[in-house]
Amino acid sequence: MHTPQENPPHLTPEEYFLWQEKQLEKHELINGQTYAMSGGSVNHSRIAVRLTRMIDTHLDGSHCITGNSDLRINILGTNNYTYPDVSVTCDERDQTTSQYITYPCLIIEVLSTSTEAYDRGNKFRLYRQNPLLIDYLLVSSTHIAIDLYHKNEAGDWLIFNYQGGDRIKLQSIDLSFPIEQIYRGLNLLENEQI
């Protein structure tokens, strides 16, 4: 989970962009307050890299943009900015921005003990403000388990729980893959505390 700054500055987006450039760690901006992003485990990093690489390769040659944890998302209609682990936008409006994207169709968060409640709750509530978001993927970093929140054509969010032997289907980018592809070679026996 992100950690509030001691005596956090109340910033406008413009002030936030300038301030963030001078910081050693990344910060989200929520309702004018900055929140430091916590670091991740080896598994967290490896899973995020695999997903980013697989998705970027799949979308190669398209007009879509695949982002890693350095790409901010502006929550539509707000001055809030977050850093998901992986994101994809195929919207033309995001082709000309340099500081962030606003219209992702896919957002992925790799879970850890300290971020899971935030990623499933308040962060997902923020992300759902975007009408173009179709898939929100939550990936465990401690065991083989992935939850997919998928918005159907009626606008309802459905949840799909995947485990070993399952195949993940991301309709937002027309990609399907076996769950084991993400977890191969990882040490999943440790209950990592982050």
Kindly write down the DSSP assignment for every residue of 108-142, as one continuous string. Answer: EEEE-TTTHHHHHTHHHHHHTT-TT--EEEEEESS
C-alpha distance from residue 115 to each of 21, 79, 96 (Å): 24, 22, 31
**% of the chain with per-residue pLDDT over 70:** 92
Is residue 192 predicted with pLDDT exceeding 60? Answer: no
Domain ranges of the chain: 40-183
What's this model's pTM, rounded to 2 decimal places?
0.89
Residues in the chain, total: 194
Average pLDDT over residues 96-123: 93
d(CA 96, CA 100): 10
Average pLDDT over residues 117-131: 93
d(CA 103, CA 55): 17
Backbone angles phi, psi at 140, to 5 degrees: -70, 145
d(CA 131, CA 145): 27
Where does the chain have alpha helices with state H?
13-21, 42-58, 116-120, 122-127, 180-183
Q: How many CA atoms lie within 13 A of 117 on its CB side?
A: 4
**% helix / strand / coil in the chain, to the nearest 5?**
25, 30, 45
Average pLDDT over residues 128-134: 95
Is residue 8 predicted with pLDDT exceeding 80? Answer: no
DSSP 55: H
Closest CA to 58 of 37, 26, 86, 80: 86
* Most confident listed range (34-48, 111-125, 129-143): 129-143
d(CA 35, CA 27): 5
Options 3.40.50.300, 3.90.1570.10, 3.20.20.70, 3.40.50.80; CATH of 40-183: 3.90.1570.10
**% of the chain with per-residue pLDDT over 90:** 75
pLDDT of residue 63: 96
Backbone angles phi, psi at 51, to 5 degrees: -65, -45
Position 189 confidence tier, pLDDT thresholds 50, 70, 90: low
